[in-house]
Structure 1
Amino acid sequence: MDDTPVPVDDPKPQGKGRPTPKRRDAEGRRRQLVSAPKDRKEAYRQMRAKQAAERDRARRGMLAGDERYFPARDKGAARKFARDWVDSRRLPSQYFLPFSLLILLATWVPWPMSVRVQVLNAVIVFGWPVMMIGVVFTSGYVAWKVKKEVAAKLPNESLKGVGFYAAMRALQIRKLRFPPPQLLPGGKPVPPKK
């Protein structure tokens, strides 16, 4: 038997400093009263309320940029890089939808017949082809550039689908992008909403 005293500055503490609680006391603290629903309708109401609260929490998390709540297609460092790359630039393809709407409105306006023919010819011969060529070239450039940048900056990340993801994000109107942009054009962070 060793009778040497234990030094005061011993790195291994002796015990945990409190007695171990009895099992029935520990189990009693863990137990909570469960209020079971009275009938099926009440059970459905409780379930719907719980699901609505969960959806609301997930929605707030997604809008705040919390990646835990993102769908699988938006998760990962490569996808975040692609989103930030697209959001920090003004690209011609982001004006595709507003330009399409403008062209459609121009063809629906009840112009006089001579003007209507000229408008339709301008749209068919010039408007749509220029817009489509611009979208195709911009989308190709965005996909190529983002894949190249991701490969250089995140070598361990998978490149599968990153270029297409960035190209599709570049086609969306900025205010309608989801997840919401975290950067302004030019690369500055989006100011928090009040």
Structure 2
Amino acid sequence: MFRSRSKENQSPRAAEPTAEEASRTRDPQAPKGRPTPKRSEAEALRKASARPPTDRREAARRAREARRKALEKQREALVTGREEFLPYRDRGPVRRFARDFVDTRWHVAEYFLIYAIIILVLSMVPGQQPFALLLWMGIILAMIVDWIALRFRLKRALNERFPNESHKGAYPYALMRTLQVRRLRLPKPQVKRGEAPR
């Protein structure tokens, strides 16, 4: 008797948006092509998308799906170098510069695995053990000299390029990157050898 007619005439179907409307995305500058949804329709759509899971299995499934999507984006970012999806240790302009600084040069430590295999084979040959030991010590010394030179060059470049930002962790990050073979480095190198770091 005292109810408003608008509530009586309102169909239950109007409160629930169609799946097509929910999934449709459009350019904000383009004309809509449909009437503006009522507040009740918009609220129903918002509540449906933010509805919490009903049971533990559903919650676990949603968490797995979200984790899978995040890992997929992270994997893609490690190849493309997209900053927003990289792991936290690789984010930021200082880390990107350190990566590029390492990737533009040749380093002794890059081929450590190859040196180790050669020295292992030489140490098995009778009479070559002293030579293998000298070679091993020479490679270790060359790596240390290369790392010291890299640290000073990188420190100078970072102070010029990023004087007001913290360089904490950039030097060990760069040294660890020199130990990896260039093809296997993650995030993938974005510059060629000899180019200037970005």
- Maintained 8 Å contact 1:139/1:167: yes
Alignment partners' CA distance in 1, 2:39 and 2:69? 35
Alpha-carbon distance, 1:149 to partner: 0.6
**Aligned residue number for residue 161 of structure 1:** 169
RMSD: 2.8
Aligned residue type for 1:62: L
Is the counterpart of residue 119 in structure 1 residue 128 in structure 2? yes
Is the counterpart of residue 144 in structure 1 residue 144 in structure 2? no
- Maintained 8 Å contact 1:77/1:157: no
Give CA deviations for 1:117-156 in whole Å, capped at 9, x if unaligned: x2211111x1111001101000011011001111012212
**Aligned residue number for residue 183 of structure 1:** 191
Spell out the pairing of 1:1-194 with structure 2 (5 A cutoff): 23-32=39-48, 36=53, 40-41=56-57, 43-108=59-124, 111=125, 116=126, 118-124=127-133, 126-187=134-195
- Maintained 8 Å contact 1:83/1:166: yes
* Residue 147 to residue 93, structure 1, CA distance change in 2 (3 Å): same
Alignment partners' CA distance in 1, 2:152 and 2:106? 17
Give CA deviations for 1:53-90 in whole Å, capped at 9, x if unaligned: 32112211222101122222222211111111110111
- Maintained 8 Å contact 1:97/1:172: no
SS in 2 for 1:147: helix
**Aligned residue number for residue 16 of structure 1:** none
Alpha-carbon distance, 1:21 to partner: 6.8
SS in 1 for 2:120: helix
- Maintained 8 Å contact 2:74/2:87: no
Alignment partners' CA distance in 1, 2:58 and 2:43? 29
SS in 2 for 1:32: helix
Which TM-score applies when normalising by structure 1?
0.71
Alignment partners' CA distance in 1, 2:165 and 2:176? 20
* Residue 165 to residue 47, structure 1, CA distance change in 2 (3 Å): closer
- Maintained 8 Å contact 1:143/1:162: no
Structure 2's unaligned 5+ residue stretches are 1-34
Structure 1's unaligned 5+ residue stretches are 1-18, 190-194
Aligned residue type for 2:192: L
Alignment partners' CA distance in 2, 1:146 and 1:188? 13
Alignment partners' CA distance in 2, 1:187 and 1:78? 17
Aligned residue type for 1:32: A
SS in 1 for 2:118: helix
Which TM-score applies when normalising by structure 2?
0.70
